Amino acid sequence: MKNISERQLERFPIYLKYLLTLSNDNENISAPMISRALGFSEEQVRKDLQVVTSKEGKPNRGRNKDELISDIQKFLGYQNIDNAVIIGVGHLGKAFINYSGFKAFGLKIVAGFDIDNNIVGTKINNIEIYDLNDIEKTLPLLNVKIAILTVPGEVAQEITNRITEIGIKAIWNFVPTHIDVSENVVIENVNLASSLAVLSHKLNLKEKGE
C-alpha cells in the first residue's frame, strides 16, 4: 500500500457515507459527481478513489457504485470487527455505550470501566460495566486492543499507562489533555476544543465582514 496521509484517510468515510445514501437509480458514479456533492475538487476525488479501488475507472462512465462502496469498506477494514472498551463511563462514555452505530465502522464495544459503584456491575445497552480499579484482572480476558478514553483529564495519563501495560495497543482519546504513549501504542486525539476554535474563528471572520 502506498503511503497515505491522515488528511486523505479522513475523506474515505465521507465518500462512503455519501455513496451509501445514494439511491439505487444510478449504477455508476463518477469523480465529478462526488466532487459536486461533497465540495472536494475533482482531481482530489479522482486521486483518492485510485488509492482504494482495485479496477480502473472507465472514461465517460466512472465506476460501479457498489464495487466502490465495497472497496472503501474493505480499505477501512469495516468488515472485520475489532473489540473495544470504554474507559470512563461518564456522560460521554455513556453516550458511546448507548450508540450502536460504531459496529458499522468495524468497532464492537464489549465492556465499560468506571470507578462509580452505582454503575459497576450493571449493564448499559447490554454492555457490562466493570470496576476500573480491577482492570488489570478483567481487561486481559476480553481480547481487546482498542480503548476509548473518556475519563477526567487528571487521571488520563495514569490510566493510559495502566491499560497499555496490559495489552491495549490503540487509544481513541476524547480527553482534552496531551497523553504520552510508548512506541508500540498508537493514539488518536479527538479534541472538541480545537474543533470549536475553528468554528468560532470562521464565525468571527464572517461577522467581521470577510
Binding footprint of its own copies on the chain (CB under 8 A): 4, 6, 9-14, 16-18, 21, 37-39, 76-77, 82, 91-92, 94-95, 98-99, 102, 105-107, 145-146, 153, 169-170, 172, 176-178, 184, 186-188, 190-204, 206-207
The reply on whether position 59 binds DNA by CB under 7 A is: yes
Please give the full DSSP string across 131-151, using - where no structure is assigned: EGGGHHHHGGGS---EEEE-S
Distance CA 135, CA 147 (A): 12
Q: Give the cell for residue 177.
A: 489533555
Distance CA 87, CA 34 (A): 38
* DSSP bridge partners of 85: 111, 147
Question: Of 61 and 99, which has the nearer Cβ to its own copies?
Answer: 99
The reply on whether position 58 binds DNA by CB under 7 A is: yes
Interface pick for DNA out of 13, 32, 77, 153 (rule CB under 7 A): 32
Distance CA 78, CA 72 (A): 9
Question: Of 47 and 137, which has the nearer Cβ to DNA?
Answer: 47
Cα dihedral sign, 150-151-153-158: negative
The reply on whether position 56 binds DNA by CB under 7 A is: yes
Q: How many helices (H) and strands (E) does the chain have?
A: 8, 9
Q: Which does 115 bind (CB under 5 to 8 A by kind): its own copies, DNA, none?
A: none
Cell 464495544 -> residue = 109
Per-residue binding string, DNA, 62-101, x by CB under 7 A, is xx--------------------------------------
The reply on whether position 128 binds DNA by CB under 7 A is: no
The reply on whether position 162 binds DNA by CB under 7 A is: no
* DSSP bridge partners of 129: 112
Distance CA 184, CA 33 (A): 41
Least distance between its own copies and beta carbon 204 (Å): 7
Question: Of 69 and 76, which has the nearer Cβ to its own copies?
Answer: 76
Q: Which residues bind DNA (CB under 7 A)?
A: 5, 7-8, 30-33, 40-44, 46-47, 49-50, 53, 56-63
